[in-house]
Structure formats: C-alpha cells, structure tokens
Amino acid sequence: MVGLLPYILAALGLASAFPLIPRQNNTGTERKLLVSTNNLILPFYFKDNTFIQSQANTTLPQVTPSWLALKEPNLLYAVDENTNATMLFNFDEVAHAVSKEPVASANGSVGTVSLAFNQDKTRLLGASYGGGAVDVWDISSDHHLKLIKSVALEVPGSNAHQALLDPSGRFFVVNDLGGHKIYIIDSKDDKYEIISSYDTPDQTGPRHGAWIKSAGAGNSSSPSDLATHYAVVCEVGNRVLLYKVGSDNGIPVLTLVDNVSTFGDAFPPTTPESAAAGELVVASNQKDIYVSNRITGNETDSISHFALEDYSLRFVDQVSSMGTKPRMMSLSADESILFSSNQNGTNGLVAYKRCQSSGSLDEEPLAVYDNSNFPLVDGQVAGPMFVMEVPVLSKQ
Ligand SMILES: *[C@@H]1O[C@H](CO)[C@@H](O)[C@H](O)[C@H]1NC(C)=O
Ligand SMILES: *[C@@H]1O[C@H](CO)[C@@H](O)[C@H](O)[C@H]1NC(C)=O
Ligand SMILES: *[C@@H]1O[C@H](CO)[C@@H](O)[C@H](O)[C@H]1NC(C)=O
Ligand SMILES: *[C@@H]1O[C@H](CO)[C@@H](O)[C@H](O)[C@H]1NC(C)=O
Ligand SMILES: *[C@@H]1O[C@H](CO)[C@@H](O)[C@H](O)[C@H]1NC(C)=O
Ligand SMILES: *[C@@H]1O[C@H](CO)[C@@H](O)[C@H](O)[C@H]1NC(C)=O
Ligand SMILES: *[C@@H]1O[C@H](CO)[C@@H](O)[C@H](O)[C@H]1NC(C)=O
Ligand SMILES: *[C@@H]1O[C@H](CO)[C@@H](O)[C@H](O)[C@H]1NC(C)=O
C-alpha cells in the first residue's frame, strides 16, 4: 500500500504537496519516454526492447514543439520553434499523458529551440535561435510563465541554440550558432547578465554542449564547484571543441584545449559541405561523449563516441544513426541505453545498448521505430526531433 501512495497522490494531483518523494532510476522493464516532432507531443513506452506509442498524443496544429523540459512531477514546458510562443502543458505521470492543450502560453523572442532550468527550477531559460537572445522566464508559481528578461547576444546574426546551467548552479553557457561565439551568463541575484564571451573562429557554429566535472582531470585550478571542462559540438564546422574551465575568483574562464573533427579519420562524410553535427551528450562518468552527425550524404548518418582523456578527446568508435538527421539524443536514466531521434530516413526512434564499461554503443540497436509511423508534413518525412526518458516515482 505504501508503495502505491505516490501514485494515488499523483492521481489526486497532490504529488507536488510531497516534493520529497524519492525518485530512482528506472530499473524495471518498462520505461516511459516523451517524444516530440512537428505538431505533436507523443508519450511512448519502451518495453521488452520495443517502442510502443501511447494513444494519448497531443496534437498541436502549426506548432513545432522541438524541445521539451519537465519540471517534475507534472509541468511540461515546450518551445514552438516557428513562433514566439513558449508553452506549458500538464503532464500526468501516472496516465503517462500530456494535456491536449497548453495550460499556459506566452510570447518571448522568436524561434526558441531549447530550454534549461535554473537550479531550483524557478527560472526557465529559452535559447532563441530566431531572435538571437536568451529569454528568462519566471516559473516560480505553477501554471505561470512570465518573461522577466531577454538577454540579447552581442553580434548581428546571432542564433542562440542552447543555454546550459553549470555545476555550480550560478552560470549558464550559451552557444551562439550564427554568431560563432560562446557566452557566459551570470544568474547571480537574478541579474542574468553576460559576463564574458569567446569567439569560435572559422564559422564553426557552436550548437549543443555539456559541462563536465571530472575528478580525474589532473590538477585543476577550479574551485570544486565549477566544471573542469566544457565540450561543445559545432554544427557548421563539424568540430568538437574542448575547453578547460579555470576560475577567476569563482567565475569560470574557458581555455580551448582540444578541437577535433566530429568524424573519425576512417569515416569522412560523403558531402562535407552539407554535414551539420547536431547533438552532444556526456555520460555521468564524465568520460564518454556522444555526438550526432547529420546530413553527411551517406546512406545513414552516424553517432560518434569520444573518450575524454584528461584534457583531450579521443575518437573511440561510431555507429550508424539508422536513419538521417539525428537531431537529438539522450541517455536513459540508468545510462544503459542511448535514445536517438532521426528526422528523416527509415528509422525515426533508435535505442542503442550502451556498454557501461567501455561506453561503446552496440551497432545493432535494441529497437527502432519506423518514421512511416509519424504523419508526413507537406509531403515530407517528419520524424522525431526530441526524445527523453521520464524518471519514475519510487515504488518503495
Ligand atoms: C542512477 O543512475 C546514475 C547513472 O548510472 C547513477 O549515477 C545514480 O547514482 C543512479 N541513481 C540511483 C538512485 O540509483
Ligand atoms: C493521435 O491521437 C488521435 C486520437 O486518438 C489519433 O487519431 C491519431 O492517429 C494520433 N496521432 C498519432 C501521430 O499517433
Ligand atoms: C503571441 O503573439 C501572436 C502573434 O502576434 C498572437 O497571435 C498571440 O495571441 C500571442 N500569444 C499570447 C499568449 O499573447
Ligand atoms: C517575437 O520576437 C521578436 C524578437 O525575437 C520580437 O521583435 C517580436 O516583437 C516578438 N513578437 C511577439 C508577438 O511577441
Ligand atoms: C578547429 O580546427 C579547425 C580545423 O583545423 C580550424 O579551422 C578552427 O579554426 C579550429 N577552431 C578553433 C576554435 O580554434
Ligand atoms: C598535481 O599536484 C601534485 C601535488 O601538488 C603534484 O605532485 C602532481 O605532479 C600534479 N600533477 C599534475 C598532472 O600536474
Ligand atoms: C561515408 O561515405 C564515405 C565515402 O563517401 C566513406 O568514406 C565513409 O566511411 C562513410 N561513413 C560511414 C560512417 O560509413
Ligand atoms: C529526406 O530525405 C530524402 C531522401 O534523401 C530527401 O529527398 C528529402 O528532402 C529529405 N527531407 C527533409 C525534410 O530533409
């Protein structure tokens, strides 16, 4: 009975009254996923190595919810990358369903493509690709989205693609794809001000990254609360840049220490001019790094695996993406699976078994889900843009 309590509370909408219900990694056989693509947010189950689409989809005509962010247990934020809207949906964890309509929607900068929470999830940052800005939303009260600031990036042509909270919980890094820059924003005292920026030369186009906090990274000058590294994949140049993170009185200072191709030497793209690397994911061992290669001109695109070794990146191996345009990837909560999303080609969703010791992905996926299951948009294949596992309530 005790084990059912969280479910009963959640069903009654009371779970948020008990914020300390412990959560754990999903070690059972059934996982819950949230997937999105053009006009759709789709809950999925992943069970017995099979993707199973829930009937409870959320259809949003004319909306492209290409990024989702869950404030547990029941608030699901979504972008619309075609308009100025950021939306909030109700998420029912027990029924594994998203409300049919947004419960709140508000306009900020145009074309937001990713979202990030601050540490206590009272602020939500939206990276506006179209507007070249980072929007800061007050989400401190439920069902409420209030724009408190829009941080304009410095250069014309800026396209903010992602903002990422650092391990200290105070700083965000911002990747500016069109401005070829990386910025640091300081959230202290709710100011959200740009305090430094770094050029990424040769039109490299930083897109998505990850802070890394590696205990085995030699003698870092950083205080323990800062990251040791920042790794970012660049869409235009198809490079992975690795920065060492130092400290200037507690403020992160980035120094470029490595710069490698997103392709291993043996796997050049057929069409380097169109290639556009997409996602970067780091495992919690702070060592395995996965990067998606898109529009390579090969029959399928690929996912490269790098190992962080002190202050350099070593290409380890790669697997086929099993489709084309792998836009987004994420690890399962227990990190035994990498989920990936191909916007085009045969297979839309892909689940790879990840070896917990070597970090390598099995070439033969655990499961795929065909793109023909997703409705065409303007006669074109419109596969998934986003996939993440939803953490489960503890069953203790
Ligand atoms: C969940 O998995 C991660 C990654 O393997 C691990 O670091 C963490 O300790 C696990 N948490 C629980 C509650 O088991
Ligand atoms: C979404 O749900 C509706 C109603 O159940 C269904 O008709 C439609 O096919 C579903 N769409 C997708 C893409 O699954
Ligand atoms: C956002 O802007 C659009 C276009 O001007 C408008 O139609 C819509 O009502 C606005 N939404 C909100 C929530 O204000
Ligand atoms: C949409 O965002 C742009 C800047 O990114 C702004 O100029 C415009 O006024 C916004 N429109 C609405 C309806 O909020
Ligand atoms: C990374 O290497 C490429 C290829 O040598 C070079 O063109 C680019 O300028 C380098 N990027 C940075 C940020 O140094
Ligand atoms: C780290 O610091 C220790 C103690 O100061 C020193 O003995 C060691 O050589 C240093 N290691 C590196 C990789 O700099
Ligand atoms: C892509 O095709 C090129 C030849 O055009 C080949 O050299 C390369 O190995 C292929 N990449 C992969 C990942 O198979
Ligand atoms: C999907 O791939 C096909 C075949 O390569 C191509 O013709 C089509 O333009 C692609 N669609 C999109 C939306 O990229």
Q: 10 Å Cβ neighbour count for 210?
A: 19
Rounded (to 5) percent helix, strand, coil in the chain: 5, 50, 45
| pLDDT for res 156 | 86
| Mean pLDDT along residues 261-285 | 97
Structural domains in the chain? 5-389 (2.130.10.10)
| Cα 106 to ligand 4 centroid, rounded to whole Å | 11
pTM of the model: 0.89
Is the per-residue pLDDT at 215 higher than 80? no
Q: 10 Å Cβ neighbour count for 72?
A: 17
| Mean pLDDT along residues 159-174 | 97
In DSSP notation, 257-309 reads EEEEESS-TT---S-TTT-----EEE-TTS-EEEEEE---SSSS-EEEEEEEE
Index of the ligand 4 atom closest to the CA of residue 84: 1
% of the chain beyond a pLDDT of 70: 90
Q: What is the dihedral of CA 43, 47, 51, 55, to 10 degrees?
A: -40
| Mean pLDDT along residues 1-21 | 41
pLDDT confidence bin for 214, thresholds 50/70/90: confident
User: Probe ligand 3: pick from 63, 88, 107, 128, max atoms within 8 Å of CB?
Assistant: 107
10 vs 55, higher pLDDT:
55
Is the per-residue pLDDT at 91 higher than 50? yes
Write down the mean pLDDT value for the chain: 91
| pLDDT for res 201 | 84
377 strand-pairing partners: 380
Q: Which amino acid is at 266?
A: A
| pLDDT for res 220 | 53
| pLDDT for res 10 | 44
| pLDDT for res 202 | 87
pLDDT confidence bin for 222, thresholds 50/70/90: low
| Mean pLDDT along residues 304-328 | 97
97 vs 14, higher pLDDT:
97
| pLDDT for res 396 | 33
| pLDDT for res 234 | 98
**pLDDT tens digits for 223-266?**
568 999 999 999 999 999 999 999 999 999 999 999 999 999 99
**Which one, of 79, 56, 97, lies nearest residue 88 by Cα?**
79
Q: Do 130 and 109 meet the contact criterion of CB atoms below 8 Å apart?
A: yes
Determine whether the shortest distance from the Cβ of 394 to ligand 1 is under 6 A.
no
pLDDT confidence bin for 282, thresholds 50/70/90: very high
Query: Which residues in 328-340 are b (16+ Cβ under 10 Å) and which e?
Result: bbbbbbebbbbbb
| Mean pLDDT along residues 82-93 | 97
Is the per-residue pLDDT at 221 higher than 60? no
290 vs 27, higher pLDDT:
290
Q: H or E segment at 7?
A: helix 5-11
| pLDDT for res 99 | 98
Q: Do 307 and 345 meet the contact criterion of CB atoms below 8 Å apart?
A: no
Q: Do 345 and 381 meet the contact criterion of CB atoms below 8 Å apart?
A: yes
| pLDDT for res 163 | 98
Residue reference for tokens 């939206």? 126
Is the per-residue pLDDT at 11 higher than 70? no
| pLDDT for res 216 | 58
| Mean pLDDT along residues 180-192 | 98
Determine whether the shortest distance from the Cβ of 25 to ligand 1 is under 6 A.
yes
% of the chain beyond a pLDDT of 90: 85
| pLDDT for res 240 | 98
| Mean pLDDT along residues 141-151 | 93
| pLDDT for res 224 | 61
User: Probe ligand 7: pick from 262, 263, 267, 320, max atoms within 8 Å of CB?
Assistant: 267
In DSSP notation, 207-260 reads EEEEEE--TTSSS--S-TTS-SEEEEEETTTTEEEEEEEEEETTEEEEEEEEEE
Half-sphere exposure of 140 (CA within 13 A, CB side): 5
pLDDT confidence bin for 392, thresholds 50/70/90: confident
Query: Which whole-number Å values give the CA distances from 89 to 15, 75, 160, 291, in the listed order?
Result: 16, 6, 24, 30
Q: What is the dihedral of CA 302, 284, 385, 109, to 10 degrees?
A: -130
| pLDDT for res 1 | 35
| pLDDT for res 4 | 45
Is the per-residue pLDDT at 121 higher than 80? yes
| pLDDT for res 393 | 59
Index of the ligand 6 atom closest to the CA of residue 218: 13
User: For the purposes of burial, counting CB atoms within 10 Å of the CB of 57, is it exposed (0-12), middle (13-18) or buried (19 or more)?
Assistant: middle
| pLDDT for res 225 | 84
User: Probe ligand 1: pick from 284, 336, 338, max atoms within 8 Å of CB?
Assistant: 284
What values do phi and psi take at 372, rounded to 5? -70, -10
**Which one, of 286, 208, 288, lies nearest residue 240 by Cα?**
208
Q: 10 Å Cβ neighbour count for 23?
A: 13
**Which range, of 25-34, 169-178, 340-349, 376-385, averages the lowest pLDDT?**
25-34
| Cα 64 to ligand 7 centroid, rounded to whole Å | 32
19 vs 195, higher pLDDT:
195
Tokens linked to 14: 């009371």
Determine whether the shortest distance from the Cβ of 22 to ligand 1 is under 6 A.
no
